[in-house]
C-alpha cells in the first residue's frame, strides 16, 4: 500500500491571462526605445498642425469673444489716453525694445537703433502668427491688440524725434541715445518725423480695428453654431 504522500499531485498551473480584446497594452521598453529609426518616429514629437480644440462650453462658444473685445477696447483706451505709456505693460514693452538693441549690437548703428522699435511690433505679430497656427483665435486677438499698442508707443517716440522731450532709459540728458532722432537725422528725414508718426499711429488704430473685427467674427460664428 502506497503512502498517502505519493497520491498528492501538483495542481496544474493556471492558464495565462488572455489579452483583453480592445485593450491597448503598454509598450515594452524595447519598443519604447525603438529598434530602428522607424521606431523612433512613434516617440518623437510630430510638427503637424494641431487639431482645433472642441468648443463645447458656453464660455468657449460665446463669452470668450466678448472678453477679447472688452480687453481690446480697454487696451485701446489706455493706449490713446496715456500718450503711449501703460503701467506694467509699457515697462515690459521697454524691456522688449532694449532686447532688440542687444540682439543687434553687431549691426550698423542705424540698424541697431531701429531694432528696438521693430522688435516691439514684430514680437506680438510673430506670436499672433504662432497662435493662428495653433488655431487659438482668442490669443490671436490679444496679440494683435498688443501689436497695436506697441505701434502707438513707437509713433510717440518718432514724434519726439525733433523736440526730444521724452525721458529715455539710460540717457544722460543729452538726447544722444534717442533712436529715432539718430535714425531720421542720418537719413536726412528729421523734418518728416511728424508725418511718419501719423502713419504709425494710423496703423495702430487699424490693428485695433482688426482685433475688434476678429472678436466680432468669432462671436457671430459662435452664435450661429
Q: What one-character-per-residue DSSP string does 123-150 give? A: HHHHHHHHHHHTT-HHHHHHHHHHHHHH
Please tell me the predicted confidence (pLDDT) of residue 224: 81
Please tell me the predicted confidence (pLDDT) of residue 13: 56
Output helix, strand, coil percentages for the chain, rounded to the nearest 5: 65, 0, 35
Please tell me the predicted confidence (pLDDT) of residue 58: 60
Query: Is residue 215 within 8 Å of 72, Cβ to Cβ?
Result: yes
pLDDT tens for the chain, residues 1 to 225: 444 444 555 555 555 544 444 445 555 554 444 444 344 333 334 455 556 555 556 656 788 999 999 999 999 999 999 766 788 999 999 999 999 999 999 999 999 999 999 999 999 999 999 999 999 999 999 999 999 999 999 999 999 999 988 888 766 666 678 999 999 999 999 999 999 999 999 999 999 999 999 999 999 988 887
Please tell me the predicted confidence (pLDDT) of residue 181: 93
Q: CB neighbours of 184 closer than 8 A, spacing ≥ 6?
A: 158, 161, 190, 192, 193, 196
Please tell me the predicted confidence (pLDDT) of residue 175: 64
CA distance 203 to 14: 77
Please tell me the predicted confidence (pLDDT) of residue 93: 95
Please tell me the predicted confidence (pLDDT) of residue 61: 73
Using alpha carbons only, what angle is made at residue 185 by residues 184 and 189, rounded to the nearest 5 degrees? 55
Please tell me the predicted confidence (pLDDT) of residue 14: 53
Please tell me the predicted confidence (pLDDT) of residue 121: 97
Of the candidates 208, 67, 210, 65, the one whose C-alpha atom is nearest the C-alpha of residue 150 is 208
Of the candidates 91, 82, 218, 209, the one whose C-alpha atom is nearest the C-alpha of residue 145 is 209
Amino acid at each position: 500500500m502506497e503512502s498517502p504522500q505519493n497520491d498528492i499531485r501538483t495542481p496544474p498551473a493556471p492558464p495565462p491571462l488572455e489579452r483583453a480584446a480592445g485593450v491597448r497594452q503598454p509598450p515594452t521598453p524595447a519598443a519604447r526605445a525603438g529598434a530602428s529609426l522607424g521606431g523612433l518616429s512613434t516617440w518623437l514629437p510630430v510638427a503637424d498642425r494641431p487639431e482645433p480644440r472642441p468648443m463645447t462650453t458656453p464660455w468657449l462658444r460665446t463669452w470668450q469673444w466678448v472678453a477679447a473685445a472688452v480687453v481690446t477696447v480697454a487696451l485701446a483706451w489706455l493706449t490713446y489716453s496715456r500718450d503711449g505709456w501703460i503701467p506694467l505693460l509699457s515697462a515690459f514693452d521697454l524691456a522688449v525694445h532694449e532686447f532688440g538693441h542687444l540682439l543687434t549690437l553687431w549691426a550698423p548703428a542705424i540698424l541697431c537703433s531701429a531694432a528696438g522699435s521693430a522688435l516691439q511690433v514684430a514680437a506680438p505679430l510673430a506670436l499672433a502668427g504662432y497662435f493662428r497656427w495653433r488655431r487659438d483665435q482668442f490669443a490671436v486677438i490679444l496679440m494683435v491688440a498688443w501689436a497695436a499698442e506697441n505701434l502707438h508707443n513707437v509713433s510717440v517716440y518718432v514724434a519726439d524725434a525733433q523736440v526730444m522731450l521724452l525721458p529715455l532709459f539710460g540717457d544722460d540728458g543729452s538726447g544722444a541715445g534717442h533712436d529715432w532722432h539718430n535714425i531720421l537725422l542720418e537719413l536726412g528725414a528729421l523734418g518728416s518725423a511728424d508725418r511718419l508718426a501719423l502713419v504709425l499711429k494710423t496703423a495702430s488704430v487699424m490693428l485695433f480695428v482688426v482685433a475688434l473685427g476678429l472678436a466680432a467674427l468669432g462671436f457671430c460664428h459662435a452664435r450661429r453654431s
